[in-house]
Amino acid sequence: MALEFISPEGLRLDGRRPAEIRQLRANLGVIDKADGSATFEMGNTKVIAAVYGPHEVQNRSQQLLDQALVKCEYSMANFSTGDRRRKQKGDRRSVEISLVIRQSMEAAIMTHLLPRTQIDIFVHVLQADGGTRSACINAASLALADAGIPMRDIVASCASGYLNNTPLLDLNYLEDSGGGPDVTIALLPKLDKITLLQMDAKLPLEMFEKVFELGNKGCVAIANYMRNVLLENTKDLAFARGVVKV
Amino acid sequence: MLQSKAFMKKTRRGQVVKVVREHYLRDDISCGAIFCQSCEKESACLSSSAPNILIVDTNVTLHHIDLLENNAIDDVVILSVVLEEVKNRNLSVYNRIRALCSNPMRRFFVFANEHHKDTFVKTMPGESPNDRNDRAIRSASLWYQKHLGQGPPILLLTNDIENKRKALQEGICTETVQSYVESLGRPELFDLVAQVCDSSLAEMDIEDSRPSKKKLIYPEHRPMSEITSGLQQRIFHQGKLRVNRYNPIEAYVNSESIDEEIIIYGRINMNRAFEGDVVAVELLPEDQWKEGNTLKLIEDEEDEVEEKVGLAPDSVDAAPTSLQAKPGDFGSKIGSRTCGRVVGIIKRNWHSYCGSLEPMPMPAGVGGAVNALFVASDRRIPKIRIQTRQLGNLLDKRILVAVDSWDISLRYPLGHYVKTIGDIGDRATESEVLMIENDINNRPFSEQVLACLPPLPWSVSQDDLKCNYREDIRHIRVFSVDPPGMYQIREANQMIEEFMLAANISVAEKILKHYPLCALLRRHPIPTPKMLEPLIRTAAAVGVKLDITSSKSLADSLDNALGNNDPYFNKLIRILATRCMTQAVYFSSGELTPPEYYHYGLAAALYTHFTSPIRRYADVIVHRLLAAALGLFKLPAVFHDKVQLNSLADNLNFRHRNAQMASRASVELHTLIYFRNRPTDAEARIVKIRSNGFIVFVPKFGIEGPVYLTPKAKDNNGEESCKNSADWIVDEEQQRISTRDGKRVYMVLDVVHVHIEVIEPQPNRSKLVLTLLK
Amino acid sequence: MTAAMEKWRAPGELLGWASEYTSGRGTYVWNNKIYASVVGIEVVSQPPVAAETKGPLIEVVGGKRHGAVPEPGLVVTGKVGKVTGKTASVEIVCVGSRVVKEKFSGIVRQQDVRATEIDKVEMYNCFRPGDIIKAEVLSLGDARSYFLTTAKNELGVVSATSVAGAKMVPVSWQEMMCPITSQKELRKVAKVV
């Protein structure tokens, strides 16, 4: 029996309309020890990111002479999905997502300003309910900005899909497992450039335009939220330190 | 506004997990009333002129769907909580209610109460899901009352006593379905109100319903938990129940967990399961397994099995079969088979059945509700008890009845009348009945389908001419040999047939070559020697030797089977041969091995249907395969999915069989109508010998039926009495029956004269009988 | 407070045209436009004299700064590790006045110890393991360490312990004395003003 992802009244399983994203929540500076850190929540998907660096490259052979080395590690907590199980750190999916996040962030960080250094990004999923990849990228973005690392733009990411003949924005776990396509986009909003475009399953070409447009709009909305969070947080810090001195 | 729904769930593997889901509450959900000032009106349909705006609860929707579908009921609000519950309990009712809601002619509105911020209800600790849903329904009703203050009054329809009481306490106007329908003052609606053995309804007084005096006829069904654990432990087996059409007290269950077919004998063992239900079966201890012959015929007289006069069968499927030997027949002794009994019903397959009421005397009073017994045309369905106020109207009509419930204390299930089809015996009515029985949909095509056609007037367009895979052959002289009124040229016809076979075979080869795993082909299974045994025996008795080593050898033997001075002899032998054959079926090439692709009847290694796409869906499928094989079009997705393709082939076979049965039933119907008031004498040939008579075939009319030499009598046990047949002796090998003194002898293929007439032993129960003329 | 007049910026925000402004700290140029690259307040000021372009300087400052990284020209403070005939390895602990989270490796080569008589330098007489020195980053160096130089008066050893274990006092640009034993030891001493 095929699940009805959108009711004829236009409501999804959790009560959202097709073009609505889930509730967003973000916090900066949650890990004191790290240079930069952030948590990011999209609905029930909760992710924490920590950034260490820039510091000396540990493995000399990997050192890049003209730019910084960006390393990323993605992992999921045992308790993040419905069934508790020991997650292999080096399993295929984690490695793939680590690579994907690294590539997206590398495009945004101005690595040539910090040659021969290394920047480590650690992302850890605390609760997974669909869209973990996007939440990780958003969290990493905030953590990098929190660490003061120079970036071209903040990276905002969102996933969209196509079920019951309707493009849907920000799929949760149920909708993700519905068998339809899953398009993840990471966008540099002010520069209007894509740093990541990934898709699972199949989608007719005519539909792709619509789904992509929707994902784009989602990213822009998320970027606005992230920008507000960043500015709020930094303002608080600056006022706490007194009058800003150059 | 975000709420969170958390609940525990058991996964398929047996693990218990906690599921947490988001639940957003909205403030932009409209109430659906056209006259409402505050909500948006895009999909609104509830009108201000309605006497009431009804809100129905789940049980009312499930049991009284027929009432809701009636045009008298409109302006109904279906809450999303009710819709969800209905979907989980009965998918067909869910589809029907969805159809009602999307039908622009009716005024049914779906209100998403679960996501509306004012009507959302959070589960209280310790509250059962049913209670919580009832609370949600009441909360929504209350909201509607406040929101649509100035419009028609809101009425909550529920048959649940608790819910009703609490609703009245909260100030919601509520009524039971009975009282509401009564208040409408339309007696014809009353029949549609279902009979359910709820705790809330008064018990029917068919049997003495006081609990202490209730006679429990059937064993209780086991609870679901016991069934699931039993299935896991392989004590119980799950499968679909298939009732024997010719012997309704016998049924089979095929289950994946056991190799053999399980047989269920007797009403008690069937335990209220219907044809098509998914049941859980427990095997009986081996000492209770029945042997074919020793079975006593049935518990009561009403389930008598008779052979009837009908169209001559043209294949094994059409001929009556029965594992249990009929009285007086010498079927080979079958060894004991696995027997079982139904312990629970996993999924009910109840829908509406057509048939008529059992004749009964009219009640003394007028206008009161009367209990009548409904007999379905499909013999596999048990009789159904209904209550009706219009008995006089219905006695001579074919009606549609739906089943509601079957308590353990009731001999027959309870149901309710849905609609009348027409008079019994009326040609149009009976034709419609046999269409319904064979699941043939003859409604006009929907707008959507018709929209696929190009608009008229149509002519060949420029694009069509330019298309590189189409060839213009309008300049070639083409003959059509079929149109009505054309003089048929036999040789032309035969030649066409040869070409048709050649075309089909060559297409089959092409598509198989390109798509060895998903080509749709047609096969004719080779009949087993066992199936051909009766034919060989009969032929041997009249001195004809048939060689069944191959289809060619059989065809040759049939050609040589000629009787002296008997022009009809050969035809008869052929008729006997045909009824041993199986039906040809469609299949997907990936499912069977190449040797099994063989088509026995056409003696072809490969065959498919290609030449008639305008009248057969199978041909359309093969056209698509061929188009893909030639590289003209992309292969449709269905061919990549093995499961879907198989179900497609199964459906083609199912529909084909149904169409054939409907066609045969229609011919029988018209035969009956023909012979009504026109009794006739005709020549007949004996085709099979029985202990108390024989089966004859009447060549002039193409009908076949039993002729009894001794009157059918029954003794106290209900068994067909064999005492009288001691006057007649049967020689099985020689296929003849003769009197003890040898004065009268009848042999198979002998000529006899019979009298054909239609009699009506019971009102509205006409049947055709053949009697022997001296 | 000047809150209302402050213009807070996040990375990627457009600040102005490259033709009108000069890009400073916390900004970058792309396609003739200047964008912010960190979170902070936009500050416009007079261009430094040495700048190529004439427009006012636009910077984004005030936000969290990233960890300190040694760059050529900056003065770093470090602890001497190994001393060989030709080199002295240094563990860089501070860059300017900012402490680094993780230590960087630097190296002082024989020719970079002092400005004069560079081929007569005896490494052991300039640095000893455990000395705290102030040095200037010459370049990014080789694969292993940054190249440091102490060839200025204000660069060199700022703190050292004697063989007796006491903190020594600088005597001259080449000597330090232990206060307890009054023994002198050879070091390349920084002139602390």
Of residues A126, A21, A225, A180, the one with CA closest to residue B24: A21
B152-166, B541-555, C48-62, C66-80: which has the minimum mean pLDDT? C48-62
Q: Directed axis angle between helix B427-437 and helix B642-675, to 10°? A: 160
Cis peptide before B457 (omega within 30 of 0): yes
Q: Chains meeting C at 3+ CB pairs closer than 8 A?
A: A
Q: Does A170 touch chain C (CB under 8 A)?
A: no
Burial class (CB in 10 A: 0-12, 13-18, 19+), B76: buried
pLDDT tens string B516-546 = 888 999 999 888 887 788 788 888 888 888 8
CATH number at B166 reads: 3.40.50.1010
**What's the pLDDT score for residue C110?**
92
Mean pLDDT calculated for residue range C65-86: 90
Q: How many CA atoms lie within 13 A of B425 on its CB side?
A: 14
Last residue of a domain, one of B609, B631, B665: B665
pLDDT over 70 at B481, yes or no? no
**Residues 147-186, chain C: which have Cβ within 8 Å of A?**
none
Comparing B462 with C107, the larger pLDDT belongs to C107
B178-187, B202-211, B273-282: which has the minimum mean pLDDT? B202-211
A107-116, B555-564, C124-133: which has the minimum mean pLDDT? B555-564
Domain boundaries, chain C: 8-61, 75-186
Q: Say how many CB pairs under 8 Å bridge A and B.
A: 48
Mean pLDDT calculated for residue range B96-110: 87
Candidates B17, B18, B19, B21, partner chain A, best to mutate (most A CBs within 10 A): B21
Confidence class for position B484, pLDDT limits 50, 70, 90: low
CA distance C58 to C94: 28
Contact B706, B697 (CB under 8 A): no
Shortest CA distance from A129: residue in chain B? B21
pLDDT tens string A117-145 = 999 999 999 999 999 999 999 999 999 99
**What's the pLDDT score for residue B209?**
45
Q: How far is A12 from chain B (nearest CA, A)?
A: 10
Q: Which two structure tokens, joined as six digits, stand for B600?
A: 């026995």
**What's the pLDDT score for residue A246?**
42
Same domain as B578, residue B526: yes
| Residue in A1, A14, A129 closest to B23 by CB | A14
Same domain as B701, residue B646: no
Domain count, chain B: 4
pLDDT tens string B505-518 = 999 999 999 998 88
Q: Could you give the C-alpha distances from C87 to C74, C110, C119, C123, in angstroms and in order?
A: 20, 6, 13, 7
**What's the pLDDT score for residue A206?**
85
Which of chain A's residues have a Cβ under 8 Å away from the Cβ of C71? none
Centroid of chain to Cα B345: 18
pLDDT over 50 at B615, yes or no? yes
Helices marked H in B171-254 — which ranges? 177-184, 187-190, 224-232
| Residue in B22, B80, B110 closest to A44 by CB | B22
Last residue of a domain, one of B160, B190, B220: B190
Task: List Cβ<8 Å contacts ≥24 apart for B551-558.
Answer: B551/B526, B551/B600, B551/B601, B551/B603, B552/B603
pLDDT over 80 at C54, yes or no? no
pLDDT over 70 at B711, yes or no? no
Classify the phi-psi angles of B469: left when phi > 0, otherwise alpha if psi is within -120 to 50, otherwise beta: alpha
CA distance B60 to B176: 9
Task: Note whether B21 contacts A22, CB cutoff 8 Å.
Answer: no
Classify the phi-psi angles of C96: left when phi > 0, otherwise alpha if psi is within -120 to 50, otherwise beta: left
| Residue in A52, A117, A246 closest to C61 by CB | A246
Check residue B271 and report its DSSP letter: T
Which of chain A's residues have a Cβ under 8 Å away from the Cβ of C61? 244, 246
Angle at B95 between CA B93 and CA B101, to 5 degrees: 105
Same domain as B407, residue B370: yes
Q: How far is C100 from chain A (nearest CA, A)?
A: 8
Angle at B112 between CA B109 and CA B115, to 5 degrees: 165
CATH number at B761 reads: 2.40.50.140
Centroid of chain to Cα C35: 28
Q: Which two structure tokens, joined as six digits, stand for B79?
A: 């809450």
Last residue of a domain, one of B135, B166, B190: B190
Same domain as B499, residue B554: yes
pLDDT over 60 at B725, yes or no? no
Q: How far is C22 from chain A (nearest CA, A)?
A: 17
Q: Which residues contact A140 (CB under 8 A, 6 or more apart)?
A: A38, A49, A51, A72, A101, A105, A121, A123, A155
Task: Note whether C64 contacts A191, CB cutoff 8 Å.
Answer: no
pLDDT over 70 at B336, yes or no? no
**What's the pLDDT score for residue B545?**
84
Which of chain A's residues have a Cβ under 8 Å away from the Cβ of C26? 150
Centroid of chain to Cα A34: 19
pLDDT over 90 at B217, yes or no? no
Of residues B630, B623, B594, B593, the one with CA closest to residue B609: B623
Task: Note whether B110 contacts A8, CB cutoff 8 Å.
Answer: yes
Chains A and C touch (3+ CB pairs under 8 A): yes
Q: Which two structure tokens, joined as six digits, stand for B140?
A: 């929504």
Contact B136, B81 (CB under 8 A): yes
Contact B103, B78 (CB under 8 A): no
pLDDT over 80 at B212, yes or no? no
Q: Does A1 touch chain B (CB under 8 A)?
A: yes
Stretch (H or E) spanning B22: strand B16-24
Q: How far is A16 from chain B (nearest CA, A)?
A: 6
**What's the pLDDT score for residue A237?**
78
Q: Which two structure tokens, joined as six digits, stand for C11?
A: 């990375």
**What's the pLDDT score for residue C190?**
92
Shortest CA distance from A3: residue in chain B? B87
pLDDT over 60 at B378, yes or no? yes
Mean pLDDT calculated for residue range B602-626: 91
pLDDT tens string B261-318 = 888 888 888 888 998 889 999 888 887 776 543 333 333 334 444 567 777 777 766 6
| Percentage of chain B lying above the pLDDT 90 cut | 10
Task: Note whether A83 contacts B18, CB cutoff 8 Å.
Answer: no
- State which residues form the domain around B690: 679-772
Q: Which two structure tokens, joined as six digits, stand for C132?
A: 């705290």
Task: Note whether A22 contacts B114, CB cutoff 8 Å.
Answer: no
Q: Does A172 touch chain B (CB under 8 A)?
A: yes
Task: Note whether B25 contacts A15, CB cutoff 8 Å.
Answer: yes
Candidates A6, A9, A14, partner chain B, best to mutate (most B CBs within 10 A): A9
Q: Which residues contact C193 (CB under 8 A, 6 or more apart)?
A: C154
- The b-or-e profile of A108-135 (16+ CB within 10 A means b, else e) is bbbbebbbbbbbbbbbbbebbbbbbbbb
| Percentage of chain A lying above the pLDDT 70 cut | 96
**What's the pLDDT score for residue A106?**
93
pLDDT tens string A39-49 = 999 999 999 99
**What's the pLDDT score for residue B325?**
35
Contact B338, B344 (CB under 8 A): no
**What's the pLDDT score for residue A110?**
93
Comparing B589 with C101, the larger pLDDT belongs to B589
Task: Give, rounded to a whole angstrom, the gap between the first and last alpha carbons of chain A.
Answer: 64
Same domain as B106, residue B81: yes
Q: How far is B170 from chain A (nearest CA, A)?
A: 28
Q: Does A115 touch chain C (CB under 8 A)?
A: yes
pLDDT tens string C23-37 = 888 899 998 999 999
Centroid of chain to Cα B412: 20
* Chosen CATH of C8-61 out of 1.10.340.30, 3.30.1050.10, 2.40.50.100, 3.30.565.10: 2.40.50.100
pLDDT over 60 at A2, yes or no? no
Q: Which of A108-122, B191-205, B339-353, B381-395 has the highest mean pLDDT?
A: A108-122
ipTM score here? 0.87
CA distance A150 to A147: 9
Of residues B393, B440, B442, the one with CA closest to residue B420: B393
Confidence class for position A9, pLDDT limits 50, 70, 90: confident
pLDDT tens string B686-695 = 888 877 778 8
Of residues B386, B381, B202, the one with CA closest to residue B277: B381
Q: Say how many CB pairs under 8 Å bridge A and C.
A: 109
Q: Which two structure tokens, joined as six digits, stand for B269?
A: 């063992």
Residue type, B253: V
Contact A145, A151 (CB under 8 A): yes
Topology of domain C75-186 in CATH is: OB fold (Dihydrolipoamide Acetyltransferase, E2P) (2.40.50)
pLDDT over 80 at B228, yes or no? yes
**What's the pLDDT score for residue B320?**
54
Mean pLDDT calculated for residue range B633-654: 87
Cα four-point dihedral sign B716, B718, B719, B723: positive
Mean pLDDT calculated for residue range A192-219: 92
Residues forming a β-bridge with B767: B759
Residue B142 domain-assigned?
A: yes
**What's the pLDDT score for residue B397?**
86
Q: Which two structure tokens, joined as six digits, stand for A151?
A: 């970036």
Same domain as B683, residue B657: no
Q: Could you give the C-alpha distances from B186 to A172, B113, B393, C33, in angstroms and in order?
A: 50, 32, 16, 80
CA distance B144 to B106: 20
Comparing B452 with B330, the larger pLDDT belongs to B452
CATH class of the region A24-232: alpha beta
Identical fold at C8-61 and C75-186?
A: yes
Check residue B611 and report its DSSP letter: S
Centroid of chain to Cα C36: 25
Contact B206, B229 (CB under 8 A): no
pLDDT tens string A86-104 = 766 778 889 999 999 999 9
Q: Which residues contact C81 (CB under 8 A, 6 or more apart)?
A: C88, C89, C90, C91, C129
Confidence class for position A208, pLDDT limits 50, 70, 90: very high
Q: 3-state class of C145 per DSSP?
A: coil
Domain boundaries, chain A: 24-232
